[in-house]
Amino acid sequence: MNQSNHDPKDEFGGQEPDPANPGGRPQGSGFSGNRVALILLIVLGLLFFSLFLFSGRGTVQRIPYSAFLAQLEGGQIGRIKIFDDLEIQGTITGPGGEVPFKTRIPYYDESLLQELRARGVIFEGGEKSSALYFLLQSLPWILSIGFMWYLFRQMNQGGGKAFAFGRSRAKKYVQNDKKITFQDVAGQKEAKYELEEVVDFLKNPAKFSALGARIPKGVLLVGMPGTGKTLLAKAIAGEAGVNFFHMSGSDFVEMFVGVGASRVRDLFEQGRKNAPCILFIDELDAVGRTRGAGYGGGHDEREQTLNQMLVEMDGFDTKDGVIMIAATNRPDVLDPALLRPGRFDRQVVVDMPDVVEREAILRIHGAKVPLAAGVDFNLIARATPGTSGADLANLVNEAALFAARAGKKLVGPSHFEEARDKLLLGIARKSKLITSKEKRATACHEAGHALLHYCLKNTDPLHKVTVIPHGQALGMAVSLPEKDIYSRSKSWLLDRIKITMGGYVAEEIFYGETTTGTANDILQATNLARKMVREWGMSDNIGFACFGHEDEPIFIGREIVNQKEYSEAMGERLDEEINRILEACLSETRSILLSRRDDLEKLTDALVEKETLDDREVRELLGLPPAAERMTEADSPRT
């Protein structure tokens, strides 16, 4: 899919629910355990509150024994109580009234009782070491220790594992009633062929061991996001009927040192206990990036985790029935030690679906919604090139949402058309207020893009041109290839550059100046010309040579050391060649649109009036043959 716009400035069906636990509530007694813990916490809080409330009534001043004797001689001691642990509590009479105090007798004082009698102090004895008093004083602390022990046990036995920092966070999927198999994965014939061997080993390991064959320890699923890597891994477990443990690469790394390595050890130990099983690590690049690429001198927490994973994969044997499967969309950043034989020694490419596979995917997801007559999944598949399985699942869902908003009971072709436009073009902002002058300028810009689709020989057919704002763009001209294309020729790239220049030249012809809306077009054209010269060897003056990769991932410490791969003189030649290509394309684009100025103006007027035109309407407006005749006529009017 290609877009020219006027800018004012992983899985096919998602994650399947656990059939054994459809409600999503943690299994076991987690809910009742949490309720008991809450009740205990409330009781404990009330006990502490009562203890502090009653113990805090009045301020009791602790004074030295010598101060007590001085107050006694001064006649300021009123009534006291002497406890069996040699503590004295009483009141001191002062100017502000009676103040409570307490003190402790540091030695056996035989003259204390005589002095008290002589001063007329009322005294009595007391006991503090009774079992009831000790129990009341210790009860809150006993309950606190018991509550912490109960909470620790609950968290380690339940699903949370709040205190088990070093325990693996792998989720176990148990497929009882509904299990995922290869039939639930549309297309991907080559990938499924490679993975069927793993399924066969899990079902019948003796067949391989009898011949001395060794099944791969690890399988790495490589593909773009949304192509169904996780779904394929679950399908392997469903086909083999074994346990499936799922964990993300980011789950290994925490702020605590050593936690990641501990979790790796626990994951492999968990796999051995539940063998035969599949251990699946999603987004492996989060923990498996090349070592020595950071500031930490190759000894940060992530690299310790990776080192432990390498050791564990060397240590466990496939005879245990444990298969490691990982998924990533960045295999270029993985550490080479992960990819050597004996670890992830088999890479399975999960590619973007072709038109046949897209139709199969649409039928799988379309079976889940009520469809009206006339829905053609083959047509939709041909109109959505370059989309992943997740995109197609989202398209079916969006179509159902459009039908629900319209109050329909069936999802019809118009709803799929709206969903496709939303997926390809973005959300239409029909409420955006645009002046008539700016609307016409946008129509002129988009007409320049659209007209060039019919004037150039190596272009994809125009799908739709619109001046209704979508996303950040005020207008858009979208072209779709007639079939899946996996490589592009130099002629197509040059024509594509000319199409991106169409809006710029159209504004220049009609208004004598351009606007900021051409910024995105200029960026696209410049990037294509730069790659043609520097990466794809499509320049006659530069020839067969590559001068750096613009999209190469940046590794801190690596890019700083690397120098330019070419001299300053060669850099000037590259810039001159890029500018030469752009100037030549701009000159030809200007010549074409000047010769077709009447058609350009006619197309602009139609866009101002109707706002959106498809390929059929544009052809009728310009007097061109229908699209069906385009394939049979070698020389259709294009110039």
Distance CA 202, CA 293 (A): 37
Strands, E assignment, 261-401? 277-282, 322-328, 346-349
Residues catalogued as catalytic: 446
Q: Tokens 């995109």 appear where?
A: 391
Neighbours of 103 (CB within 10 A): 21
Strands, E assignment, 95-142? 97-104, 122-126
Contact 281, 247 (CB under 8 A): yes
Q: Which of 287, 199, 289, 299 is nearest to 239 (CA)?
A: 199
- What is the largest distance, in Å, between two alpha-carbon atoms of the chain? 133
Contact 3, 478 (CB under 8 A): yes
DSSP 631: T
User: Which H or E element spans position 463?
Assistant: strand 462-466
What sign has the CA pseudo-torsion 184, 188, 193, 194? negative
C-alpha Rg value of the chain to the nearest Å? 39
Q: Which of 513, 506, 525 is nearest to 585 (CA)?
A: 525
CA atoms within 13 A on the CB side of 321: 19
Could you tell me how far CA 162 lies from the centroid of its own chain? 23
- List the structure tokens of 632: 């049979």
- Please list the alpha-helical segments (H only) found in 26-82: 30-55, 65-73
Strands, E assignment, 86-228? 87-94, 97-104, 122-126, 171-173, 218-222
Distance CA 608, CA 587 (A): 27
Contact 415, 579 (CB under 8 A): no
